[in-house]
């Protein structure tokens, strides 16, 4: 199904719900009925042979959705095993009505018991909703752990219980769902950090809330999609020459690390750059030039030897294999003395962390460990709220930041938008992937895309190419270089009209 691009926080989703109820007269009970119906329909499609359905309900509206589903399952001749968790006396009004209707239909509701999961085909997680703000403990923790240990596939209602809806952080423990059905607004936490692994396949139903209601609440983030990225690259003029497609200078490849710079250079070409020059350690120059003759390779030993190359560059990609020695620090320093747009990665980021500064036109591409060094905090803190981290990075360093990882985030001081990439797969957790991303972004920036657009399109094309490579040969054993032909294909598929 086509998912919306807009992502919302839990508070924003509650406001959408309020507007629908108070201004459009859609009763809360009606929204709950629609949610239960949508969840039941998805369950039947996703697990068509399921007959015995465990429905675990909390006291909130999330639990009310579960009671509606259980009643519908009973009416369809299935066997719902409904389990209640938490004090029933604290149930919200609509949820209490849904529970009573479920019982009146002849469905028994029992307290949660591990033994009741035995023999069930699917578990419906309607335990906790989007309002969770502290770590689960006690009975709630035990129930979530039991569901995970049961090895029964899980359909999560709105958000997997225990997952923070805004950040994707696991709040002590979180349900591992095979599918999640989000309502009214897609929750941002489903798409980054632990949310990627806990949510499974994500589905959405707006429950009939009119589109103009959504238009009144600015999204907290945006999913990158082919539709939103289409046309950023123009169809090339028939009289175009290589100078029109930009010149990328890759600075990197200290002793023992020639591959990183070469991968970045090749990726810049595959992304469409007209010329790519590598400034690398002299001992690697001949070897790289022989391996990829399209690259213009220079062995440089000092900033003085680098300056003529800087004078001809449209974009710099600094960091792949740069090392943390004097050679790399001196070359990166020379790059920073220019006003050339720069993609900063790997050891260049480590140099930046040691000597922070602001720059108007660079694209930083840290993984969580590098982001932690840039912000002077721990990696766990970065992963606990990746949205806050990427915003802090652009506030502290300027330009655009790409926070890599599951659900890569892109933030920009240029437009204030935070974008989320939901493509990519675990097969991409191998050496050189970041170097290919750096080269891809630099190649796009060299063709005249703005820094935010180059970062967004580069991240998406790189991740989508990883999915293409996995489809072709599987996730295990994927190499960074496997992505290169798929990056080219993905970018060409998005080309729009001829250049003006």
What pLDDT, in 10s, does the model give residues 73-122? 999 999 999 999 988 766 678 999 999 999 999 999 999 999 999 999 99
User: Quick one: tokens of 313?
Assistant: 């560059």
Closest among 489, 494, 444 to 272, alpha carbons compared: 444
Integer angstrom CA distances of residue 493 from 232, 470, 490: 11, 19, 5
Q: What is the pLDDT of residue 91?
A: 67
Integer angstrom CA distances of residue 124 from 58, 156, 176, 398, 475: 11, 6, 12, 44, 29
Closest among 153, 128, 124 to 139, alpha carbons compared: 128
In sequence order, what DSSP letters do the residues of 374-438 get, joined into one string? HHTS-HHHHHHTHHHHHHHHHHHH-SEEEE-STT-EEEETTT--EEE-----GGG-STTHHHHHH
What's the chain's average pLDDT? 95
For residue 344, give the 3-state DSSP assignment.
strand
Burial class (CB in 10 A: 0-12, 13-18, 19+), 29: middle
Q: Give pLDDT tens digits for 171-207.
A: 999 999 999 999 999 999 999 999 999 999 999 999 9
Q: Give pLDDT tens digits for 298-346.
A: 999 999 999 999 999 999 999 999 999 999 999 999 999 999 999 999 9
Residue 459: enclosing H or E segment and its boundaries?
A: helix 451-473
Closest among 286, 307, 283, 308 to 296, alpha carbons compared: 286
pLDDT at 499 over 90: no
Question: Can you say whether residue 173 is alpha, beta or left, with left for phi > 0 and alpha for psi between -120 and 50 degrees?
Answer: beta
d(CA 66, CA 35): 9
Closest among 286, 259, 303, 294 to 481, alpha carbons compared: 259
Mean pLDDT over 235-240 rounds to 92
d(CA 372, CA 164): 21
Percent of the chain residues past pLDDT 90, beyond the cut: 94
Check: CB of residue 174 under 8 Å from CB of residue 143: no
User: Quick one: tokens of 197?
Assistant: 């692994």
Beta bridge partners of 412: 400
Q: Give pLDDT tens digits for 459-492.
A: 999 999 999 999 999 999 999 999 999 999 999 9
Q: Give pLDDT tens digits for 132-142.
A: 999 999 999 99
Integer angstrom CA distances of residue 391 from 186, 225, 357, 410: 20, 21, 16, 9
Q: What is the pLDDT of residue 387?
A: 98
Mean pLDDT over 377-386 rounds to 97
Q: Give pLDDT tens digits for 40-56.
A: 999 999 999 999 999 99
Q: Give pLDDT tens digits for 255-299.
A: 989 999 999 999 999 999 999 999 999 998 999 999 999 999 999
Mean pLDDT over 235-248 rounds to 94
Q: What is the pLDDT of residue 2?
A: 81
Q: What is the pLDDT of residue 375?
A: 98
Q: What is the pLDDT of residue 283?
A: 93
pLDDT at 1 over 90: no
Given the DSSP bridges, would you call strands 6-8 and 221-223 parallel, antiparallel or unpaired? antiparallel
Please tell me the pTM assigned to this model: 0.96
pLDDT at 412 over 70: yes
Q: What is the pLDDT of residue 497?
A: 72
Beta-strand ranges (E) seen in 184-333 are 186-187, 201-205, 221-223, 247-251, 275-280, 296-299, 315-318
| Backbone phi and psi for residue 217, each to the nearest 5 degrees, phi listed first | -115, 110
Closest among 115, 150, 156 to 132, alpha carbons compared: 156
Check: CB of residue 310 under 8 Å from CB of residue 244: no
Sheet strands side by side (includes 315-318): 186-187, 6-8, 221-223, 418-420, 409-412, 400-403, 362-364, 342-344, 315-318, 247-251, 275-280, 296-299
pLDDT at 15 over 80: yes
């Amino acid at each position: 199904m086509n998912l919306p691009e807009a992502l919302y926080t839990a508070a924003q989703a509650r406001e959408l719900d309020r507007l629908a109820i108070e201004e459009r007269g859609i009763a809360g009970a009606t929204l709950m009925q629609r949610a239960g119906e949508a969840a039941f329909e998805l369950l039947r499609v996703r697990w068509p042979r399921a007959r015995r359905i465990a429905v675990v309900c909390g006291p909130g509206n999330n639990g009310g959705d579960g009671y509606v589903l259980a009643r519908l399952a009973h009416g369809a001749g299935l066997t719902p095993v409904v389990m209640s968790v938490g004090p029933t006396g604290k149930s919200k009004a609509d949820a209490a009505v849904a529970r009573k209707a479920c019982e009146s239909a002849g469905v028994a509701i029992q307290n949660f018991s591990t033994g009741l999961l035995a023999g069930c085909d699917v578990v419906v997680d309607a335990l906790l909703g989007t309002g969770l703000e502290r770590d689960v403990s006690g009975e709630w923790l035990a129930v979530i752990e039991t569901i995970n240990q049961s090895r029964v596939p899980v359909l999560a209602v709105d958000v997997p219980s225990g997952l923070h809806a805004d950040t994707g952080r696991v709040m002590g423990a979180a349900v591992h769902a095979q599918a999640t059905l989000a309502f009214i607004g897609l929750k941002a936490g489903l798409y980054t950090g632990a949310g990627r692994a806990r949510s499974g396949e994500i589905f959405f139903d707006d429950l009939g809330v009119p589109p103009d209601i959504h238009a009144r609440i600015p999204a907290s983030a945006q999913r990158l999609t082919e539709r939103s990225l289409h046309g950023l690259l123009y169809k090339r003029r028939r009289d175009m020459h290589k100078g029109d497609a930009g010149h990328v200078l890759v600075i990197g490849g200290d002793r023992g690390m020639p591959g990183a710079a070469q991968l970045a250079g090749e990726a810049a070409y595959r992304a469409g750059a007209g010329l790519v020059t590598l400034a690398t350690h002299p001992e690697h120059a001949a070897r790289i030039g022989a391996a990829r003759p399209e690259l213009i390779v220079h062995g440089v030993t000092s900033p003085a030897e680098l300056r003529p190359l800087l004078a001809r560059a449209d974009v710099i990609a600094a960091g792949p294999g740069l090392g943390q020695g004097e050679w790399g620090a001196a070359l990166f320093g020379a790059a920073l003395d220019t006003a050339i747009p720069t993609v900063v990665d790997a050891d260049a980021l480590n140099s930046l962390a040691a000597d922070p500064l602001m720059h108007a036109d660079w694209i930083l591409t840290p993984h969580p460990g590098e982001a932690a060094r840039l912000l002077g905090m721990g990696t766990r803190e970065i992963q606990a709220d990746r949205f806050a981290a990427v915003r802090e990075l652009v506030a502290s360093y300027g330009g655009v930041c790409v926070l890599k990882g599951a659900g890569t985030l892109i933030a920009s001081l240029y437009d204030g938008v935070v974008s989320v990439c939901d493509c990519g797969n675990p097969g991409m957790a191998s050496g050189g992937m970041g170097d290919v991303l750096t080269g891809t972004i630099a190649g796009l920036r060299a063709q005249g895309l703005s820094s935010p657009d180059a970062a967004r399109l580069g991240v998406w094309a790189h991740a989508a190419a990883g999915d293409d490579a996995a489809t072709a040969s599987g996730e295990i054993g994927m190499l960074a270089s496997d992505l290169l032909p798929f990056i080219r294909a993905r970018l060409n598929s998005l080309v729009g009209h001829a250049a003006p």
